[in-house]
Structure 1
Amino acid sequence: MPYDGFKDVKQIVKGDLEQYIIYQNEEVELKKFDNFVNLNDVLNEMEIHLKAYNRVASIQFYGITQDPETHSYMMVLEYEQMRIFEKI
Protein backbone atom coordinates (compact mmCIF):
# COMPACT_ATOMS: atom_id res chain seq x y z
CA MET A 1 0.00 0.00 0.00
CA PRO A 2 1.52 3.34 -0.96
CA TYR A 3 2.47 5.31 2.13
CA ASP A 4 1.45 8.60 0.52
CA GLY A 5 -2.20 7.45 0.67
CA PHE A 6 -2.21 7.86 4.45
CA LYS A 7 -3.43 11.10 6.01
CA ASP A 8 -4.16 12.39 9.51
CA VAL A 9 -1.60 10.09 11.13
CA LYS A 10 -1.99 10.17 14.92
CA GLN A 11 -0.13 8.21 17.56
CA ILE A 12 -2.63 6.47 19.83
CA VAL A 13 -0.57 3.88 21.70
CA LYS A 14 3.12 3.79 22.57
CA GLY A 15 4.93 0.68 21.45
CA ASP A 16 3.82 -1.76 18.79
CA LEU A 17 0.43 -0.29 17.92
CA GLU A 18 1.61 3.20 17.27
CA GLN A 19 -0.48 4.91 14.69
CA TYR A 20 -4.06 5.53 13.78
CA ILE A 21 -4.48 6.74 10.25
CA ILE A 22 -7.00 7.34 7.54
CA TYR A 23 -6.32 5.59 4.23
CA GLN A 24 -8.58 6.49 1.34
CA ASN A 25 -11.34 7.58 3.77
CA GLU A 26 -11.16 4.40 5.87
CA GLU A 27 -9.81 4.27 9.42
CA VAL A 28 -6.98 1.78 9.83
CA GLU A 29 -4.13 1.16 12.25
CA LEU A 30 -0.48 0.51 11.60
CA LYS A 31 1.64 -2.09 13.35
CA LYS A 32 5.16 -0.72 12.97
CA PHE A 33 8.25 -2.89 12.83
CA ASP A 34 11.40 -0.98 13.76
CA ASN A 35 14.98 -2.21 13.59
CA PHE A 36 14.42 -4.53 10.62
CA VAL A 37 16.71 -4.18 7.62
CA ASN A 38 15.53 -7.19 5.65
CA LEU A 39 11.98 -7.45 4.28
CA ASN A 40 12.01 -11.23 4.88
CA ASP A 41 12.57 -10.61 8.60
CA VAL A 42 9.61 -8.22 8.61
CA LEU A 43 7.40 -10.76 6.82
CA ASN A 44 8.35 -13.48 9.32
CA GLU A 45 7.53 -11.17 12.24
CA MET A 46 4.22 -10.21 10.62
CA GLU A 47 3.29 -13.87 10.23
CA ILE A 48 3.90 -14.45 13.94
CA HIS A 49 1.76 -11.45 14.92
CA LEU A 50 -1.09 -12.36 12.58
CA LYS A 51 -1.21 -15.92 13.91
CA ALA A 52 -1.33 -14.63 17.49
CA TYR A 53 -3.97 -12.01 16.72
CA ASN A 54 -6.19 -14.45 14.84
CA ARG A 55 -6.38 -16.66 17.92
CA VAL A 56 -8.02 -13.78 19.78
CA ALA A 57 -10.09 -12.12 17.04
CA SER A 58 -10.60 -12.12 13.33
CA ILE A 59 -8.85 -9.10 11.87
CA GLN A 60 -8.67 -7.68 8.38
CA PHE A 61 -5.11 -7.41 7.09
CA TYR A 62 -4.95 -4.84 4.28
CA GLY A 63 -1.30 -5.01 3.36
CA ILE A 64 2.19 -3.72 4.01
CA THR A 65 3.56 -0.21 3.68
CA GLN A 66 6.91 1.46 4.30
CA ASP A 67 7.56 4.93 5.68
CA PRO A 68 9.82 6.62 3.10
CA GLU A 69 11.54 8.74 5.78
CA THR A 70 12.26 6.14 8.49
CA HIS A 71 12.17 3.09 6.18
CA SER A 72 10.11 1.26 8.84
CA TYR A 73 7.79 -1.42 7.52
CA MET A 74 4.21 -1.52 8.82
CA MET A 75 1.22 -3.84 8.67
CA VAL A 76 -2.00 -2.06 7.77
CA LEU A 77 -4.86 -3.50 9.85
CA GLU A 78 -8.55 -2.92 10.40
CA TYR A 79 -9.16 -0.18 12.99
CA GLU A 80 -12.10 -1.58 14.97
CA GLN A 81 -10.51 -4.93 15.64
CA MET A 82 -7.32 -3.41 17.01
CA ARG A 83 -8.80 -2.52 20.40
CA ILE A 84 -8.63 -6.15 21.51
CA PHE A 85 -4.87 -6.23 20.94
CA GLU A 86 -4.26 -3.84 23.80
CA LYS A 87 -5.16 -6.80 26.04
CA ILE A 88 -2.66 -9.20 24.43
Structure 2
Amino acid sequence: MEEIGATVVAVYMRYLHDLLKQANMCSMVGFIDPATVSANSWTIADRSRLVAARLQKTDGEQIFMMPYNPGLVSLIGFCFYDFQ
Protein backbone atom coordinates (compact mmCIF):
# COMPACT_ATOMS: atom_id res chain seq x y z
CA MET A 1 0.00 0.00 0.00
CA GLU A 2 1.22 3.47 -0.81
CA GLU A 3 0.35 6.67 1.00
CA ILE A 4 -1.94 9.13 -0.75
CA GLY A 5 -1.96 12.85 -0.14
CA ALA A 6 -4.68 15.09 1.23
CA THR A 7 -5.33 16.42 -2.27
CA VAL A 8 -6.34 12.98 -3.51
CA VAL A 9 -8.66 12.54 -0.54
CA ALA A 10 -10.19 15.99 -1.12
CA VAL A 11 -10.80 15.22 -4.82
CA TYR A 12 -12.47 11.92 -3.87
CA MET A 13 -14.63 13.75 -1.34
CA ARG A 14 -15.64 16.21 -4.06
CA TYR A 15 -16.59 13.30 -6.32
CA LEU A 16 -18.73 11.83 -3.52
CA HIS A 17 -20.37 15.23 -3.00
CA ASP A 18 -21.26 15.39 -6.71
CA LEU A 19 -22.83 11.91 -6.52
CA LEU A 20 -24.81 12.91 -3.43
CA LYS A 21 -25.97 16.08 -5.16
CA GLN A 22 -27.23 14.08 -8.15
CA ALA A 23 -29.14 11.80 -5.79
CA ASN A 24 -30.52 14.80 -3.85
CA MET A 25 -28.85 13.52 -0.67
CA CYS A 26 -26.42 16.36 0.17
CA SER A 27 -28.15 17.12 3.44
CA MET A 28 -27.44 13.60 4.71
CA VAL A 29 -23.64 13.71 4.55
CA GLY A 30 -21.16 16.35 5.66
CA PHE A 31 -17.47 16.51 4.89
CA ILE A 32 -14.59 17.77 7.00
CA ASP A 33 -11.55 19.12 5.15
CA PRO A 34 -8.56 16.73 5.41
CA ALA A 35 -6.19 19.67 5.91
CA THR A 36 -8.15 20.69 9.00
CA VAL A 37 -7.60 17.43 10.86
CA SER A 38 -4.25 16.17 9.58
CA ALA A 39 -1.48 15.47 12.09
CA ASN A 40 0.75 18.23 10.71
CA SER A 41 -1.91 20.95 11.06
CA TRP A 42 -2.00 23.08 14.20
CA THR A 43 -2.19 21.46 17.64
CA ILE A 44 -4.48 18.61 18.60
CA ALA A 45 -6.54 21.06 20.70
CA ASP A 46 -6.98 23.37 17.69
CA ARG A 47 -8.00 20.47 15.46
CA SER A 48 -10.48 19.28 18.08
CA ARG A 49 -12.04 22.74 18.32
CA LEU A 50 -12.36 22.96 14.52
CA VAL A 51 -14.10 19.58 14.34
CA ALA A 52 -16.39 20.46 17.27
CA ALA A 53 -17.31 23.78 15.65
CA ARG A 54 -18.12 22.01 12.37
CA LEU A 55 -20.32 19.44 14.13
CA GLN A 56 -22.19 22.13 16.07
CA LYS A 57 -23.22 23.85 12.82
CA THR A 58 -25.34 20.88 11.78
CA ASP A 59 -28.88 19.82 12.53
CA GLY A 60 -27.76 16.54 14.08
CA GLU A 61 -29.01 14.41 11.21
CA GLN A 62 -25.85 14.28 9.11
CA ILE A 63 -23.18 11.61 8.82
CA PHE A 64 -19.70 13.13 8.47
CA MET A 65 -16.81 11.88 6.42
CA MET A 66 -13.65 12.94 8.17
CA PRO A 67 -10.27 11.79 6.87
CA TYR A 68 -7.82 11.55 9.73
CA ASN A 69 -4.06 11.06 9.65
CA PRO A 70 -2.54 10.58 13.10
CA GLY A 71 0.92 10.68 11.57
CA LEU A 72 1.41 6.96 11.04
CA VAL A 73 -1.31 5.77 8.72
CA SER A 74 -4.22 7.48 7.01
CA LEU A 75 -7.70 6.56 8.15
CA ILE A 76 -11.12 7.55 6.91
CA GLY A 77 -13.53 8.03 9.75
CA PHE A 78 -17.26 8.36 9.76
CA CYS A 79 -18.46 10.48 12.62
CA PHE A 80 -21.98 10.08 13.96
CA TYR A 81 -22.83 12.89 16.33
CA ASP A 82 -25.92 12.84 18.51
CA PHE A 83 -26.87 16.30 19.77
CA GLN A 84 -29.39 14.94 22.26
Same-fold status (TM-score > 0.5): no
Greater gyration radius: 2
TM-score (norm 1): 0.36
**Structure richer in helix, relative to its length:** 2
**Structure richer in strand, relative to its length:** 1
TM-score (norm 2): 0.37
